[in-house]
Copies of this chain bind each other. A is one copy, B any other.
Amino acid sequence: MTHPRTNTGITIWFTGLCGSGKTTLSRALEQELAGRGYEVEVLDGDLMRQHLCKGLGYSKADRDENIRRIGFVAGLLTRHGVIALVAAISPYRAIRDEVRRSIGNFLEVYVNAPLEVCERRDQKGLYRKARAGEIRGFTGIDDPYEPPLSPELECRTDIESVEECVAKILRVLEPRLPKRP
């Protein structure tokens, strides 16, 4: 990590409530970008917890450490020309901004759907458990979510389709894409 480098890649950071559509959007965008020949990697919060964050819980400190680690890996990929797509609730604004500063080439996408919509979707059954008190510290229920104040993009997944969201992201992303390998 001693050589100065051109930041050729970029990190696209999807933040939002559980069930807001972060993974869906990141996978759709991944497919589009991979199809165009870019090096692209999805860093999904759930998978990262398995690979990098075993033992971390859901306290603020543990959530921050989780995000810091994902940000570290996204930063490594970004400086080697990869498009890193991070899909992670990342509820705290300060740590998202810290990661943004450390990575440099960074684009924040606020994946926004009202809580009641996310809760209705409840793909993993987690909202039900949180409402039943079986899970504590669940973002949006009994743990805070701090929406971005000035994200590069906002996707309203309750009223915009996946295709519309991806097209919208691509319009902002295109001028900032790395050289194709």
- Give A residues with C-beta under 8 Å from B: 1-3, 27, 30-31, 34, 39, 41-42, 47, 51-52, 54-55, 65, 68-69, 72-73, 76-77, 80-82, 181
A51 nearest in chain B by CB position: B72
In the complex, 17 of the A-B residue pairs with CB atoms within 8 angstroms, ordered by the A residue number, are: A1-B42, A2-B27, A2-B30, A3-B30, A39-B80, A41-B76, A51-B72, A52-B69, A54-B65, A55-B55, A76-B76, A76-B77, A77-B77, A80-B81, A80-B82, A81-B81, A181-B181
**B81/A181 in contact, CB under 8 A:** yes
CB-CB nearest in chain B for A42:
B1
Chain copies in the assembled complex: 2
**Are A51 and B69 within 8 A (Cβ)?**
yes
Which B residues touch A82, using CB under 8 A?
A: 80
A56 CB to closest chain B CB, in angstroms?
A: 8
A11 → chain B closest CB, angstroms: 13
Whether the Cβ atoms of A52 and B52 lie closer than 8 Å is yes
Residue of A30, A31, A76, A81 with most chain B CB atoms under a 10 A cut-off: A76
Do residues A3 and B69 form an inter-chain contact, with CB atoms below 8 A? no
B47 with A1: CB separation less than 8 A: yes
Q: Would A1 and B41 count as touching, CB distance under 8 A?
A: yes
The listed residue with most B CB atoms (<10 A of its CB), out of A3, A31, A47, A55, is: A3
A82 to B39, CA, bound (A): 11
Smallest CB gap from A71: residue in B: B51
Give Cα A39–Cα B73 distance, bound, in whole angstroms. Answer: 15
